[in-house]
Amino acid sequence: MPENISFFAALAVGFFGGVHCVGMCGGIVGALTFSLPAEVRERPLRLLPYLLAYNVARITSYTVAGAIAGTVGLLGLSLVPMQHAQLILLGIAGLFMVMMGLYVGGWWFGLTRIEQAGSRLWRFIEPIGRRLMPVRSPGQAFGLGLVWGWLPCGLVYSVLIWALSAGGPLQGALLMLGFGLGTLPNLLAMGAFAAQLAAFVQRQWVRWIAGGMVIAFGLYQLFIAGARLAG
């Protein structure tokens, strides 16, 4: 998959997977927002720098994780025939994307086990974020966002597996950057319109559409990997 197509595909996965992001991170965003002084959280223009700082830092962490995954994938690909290994990793990423779509749509919840596995790492990182609370400046919000980016999340893990097959650190970083930017509209809106957005994404038809779109991207990746392996 060409790099520019991968970037925009990851962007779309992040956007349509935003239903999961609101459910997973909505409580965090709400807590961060309501911990701010009233004169900040009640004025959108004063609140915006904090929300941007949280989310730019979160996306920065995703991008760093993508570079790490891309590097690991590149090292692994050097040990085996590159084309076949890359396509197998792409197929695995597609499978994870299908599972994530089933999770977002509310049809299957087995992916929560992967999030539970990631919680072991989170136990070591979470206390750092706790020390940054309550937030009193955008700089402090940025630091908290860097920590937030490592929160265990099945959707993030699915795209990270995709980043393993990206071809290198730059490609992995770009893939996760695209995904992070895709999640941005939902989480920015969550900070400003928490109650309204939470109510909207709980509607069954919204979850079904979002889950279906994520499944479609996963199936597309499986198709591309299978077709190239067969050819």
pTM of the model: 0.81
pLDDT band, very low/low/confident/very high, at 26 (cuts 50, 70, 90) = low
Q: Please state the rounded mean pLDDT for residues 41-68.
A: 88
Task: Pick 62 or 5 by higher pLDDT.
Answer: 62
Residue 77, pLDDT above cutoff 60: yes
Q: Say how far apart CA 71 and CA 174 lie, in whole Å.
A: 13
Question: Whole domain around residue 87: which residue ranges?
Answer: 3-230
Residue 178, pLDDT above cutoff 90: yes
Q: For the chain, how many structural domains are there in total?
A: 1
* Largest distance between two CA atoms of the chain: 62
Q: What is the 3-state secondary structure (H, E, C) of the chain?
A: CCHHHHHHHHHHHHHHCHHHHHHHHHHHHHHHHHCCCHHHHCCHHHHHHHHHHHHHHHHHHHHHHHHHHHHHHHHHHCCCCHHHHHHHHHHHHHHHHHHHHHHHHCCCCCCHHHHHHHHHHHHHHHHHHHHCCCCCCHHHHHHHHHHHCCCCCHHHHHHHHHHHCCCCHHHHHHHHHHHHHHHHHHHHHHHHCHHHHHHHHCCHHHHHHHHHHHHHHHHHHHHHHHHHHHC
Q: Please state the rounded mean pLDDT for residues 211-224.
A: 86
Q: Rounded to the nearest 10 degrees, how much is the dihedral formed by the CA atoms of 43, 46, 49, 52?
A: 0
Residue 94, pLDDT above cutoff 90: no
CA nearest to 211, candidates 155, 133, 143: 155
Residue 88, pLDDT above cutoff 70: yes
- How many other CB atoms sit within 10 Å of the CB of residue 11? 19
The pLDDT value recorded for residue 190 is: 61
Residue 192, pLDDT above cutoff 60: no
Q: Say how far apart CA 193 and CA 186 lie, in whole Å.
A: 10
Task: Pick 200 or 1 by higher pLDDT.
Answer: 200
